[in-house]
Structure 1
């Protein structure tokens, strides 16, 4: 095995160590005191007698404490709602430095770090109380968007102090107050066909729309439900998606037939018979082959309109309306041959194939017709999500 690459790294190691030793000093000189403290601690864990680190660590730590305590004091002196959280952030940085130094015996010979746990706990308690009180005030406004802000404040209170008072219960209450229900109605059908026969296809249409809208939902306060669930749970629909398929028709099969006659004449040379006397010469005779290619194409098309409304449930006003065609088509082609296959060219042989398939059912054509509307309905509804 060739060890030369390892030897080269061994030769470079002292230079890497020297660069590492200087990184803390560079951070200190740039005024990045927090990072400098961490770098010096790391250095002293590996080399407890490093003089640069032992000299500069106390200075870097003192500067860091001065900076963050100044920021914490300024935050607490402000009138901002989140001032206790701002102070908490500063204390947490200082506590991180405390933990780093405490884990390094060499560091403690030159620095006696300050423990900020009491300041952190006090800040958390006060910040949680501030968030809780703000949430309660927002809930008292009684409006949906205020309730959503209240939810965020109760959630923040719990992140600061788990199980703070009854913040979890109030957060659930705020969610219920801030929730908006968007109901997707069962698809209405206006068609010459038996509506009962098309109901399973209409239900599948509704479910696809429902799932598409749910997959695009980026508002956690919006619940998208089918009409049956809204009715069952006696909920109020804040927004309604109403889809109607109107005048849906399916054409009769359009059968187009054609044929092409094929004729091919070839010359056949019969060689001379040299065994007979007098000697015979070769003969040429002609043969003609016949056949017919039969072409059949069957097609079916649909017609009608899909009308989609997005309705504001509070006042029954239309927020959006789109009209889309319920168009779809199906076709099937097949070709067969009758006659002497010797008449067929290679290109003709490629045309032969396919089979006589039955036309799709009305339900299958319905699904094909409405499938083109999925994306447009989803797009027109989802653009309102942010304001729901």
Structure 2
């Protein structure tokens, strides 16, 4: 589905701008109309910005020669619409697909990019595509390959939903398939076979007995978790199965590297066939960076660990300190009733404005 987007007024109240962004459907892979509208608005309403387009991503930046550069990033795609577009307002609540994750954050970023013509820090804004689907299609990966200089900064702030809190770093994530093998036989003569599903019970027992770490990094507590998330196996109702697969997910603290995470899972499940199918490293908090300290002072908030993986990991891998800060509630992301408190949108706008103007 391709939608023709209306003209956007990026100088408008960020609450109204959030509604306008929600009203342009932008399910992952179909962000072109919204990207085009954002690009046109930046080019016509922000002559102080250099603007480029990369696929369905739009980037803009100041070049004022400031001693530090701050990058604000937000993905413009959403999960599939669930009868929640167009947006609707009910008192102090704005409902709609992407309100929380993360068009409210996008609206704040776009509004500040246009209205702050003399920021205390040079500013880069990145609106990117395909965050909600497989990592290989993520727009930041393409930008890193084609326009790497655009991702250089002293601090990156991702507008991911944090309910107005500062969430530092992120967990790493690993998925693996643990395969158990047996011998197929007729269930009436089960003693002739070896039940692979029963063998998988040993895998589940180890996972049930696993005691995850809690790790404090820069005052943020990261909690690890190793879980079975899927079990498959079986041939027919009268056959002893000869194969079973337990899919596990390991959410690991950012003090572990990706290789260390793999080694840990293999150690826990020693003796079983473990095949890693997906792996993304975490990101350390990066709170010691001077720009991060300035931002924390501007918010007055106590940072907490980010539970889950976000694109701060990509910036950390580039050596850019990165944090998550946005007006949306992460618990509402991807739900039919997704919504955002309009007061959070205005609060986030003012906090970032205060920080960016020094």
Calculate the TM-score normalised by the size of structure 2: 0.24
Return the index of the structure with the highest Cα Rg: 1
* Higher RCO (CA < 8 A, seq sep 6+): 2
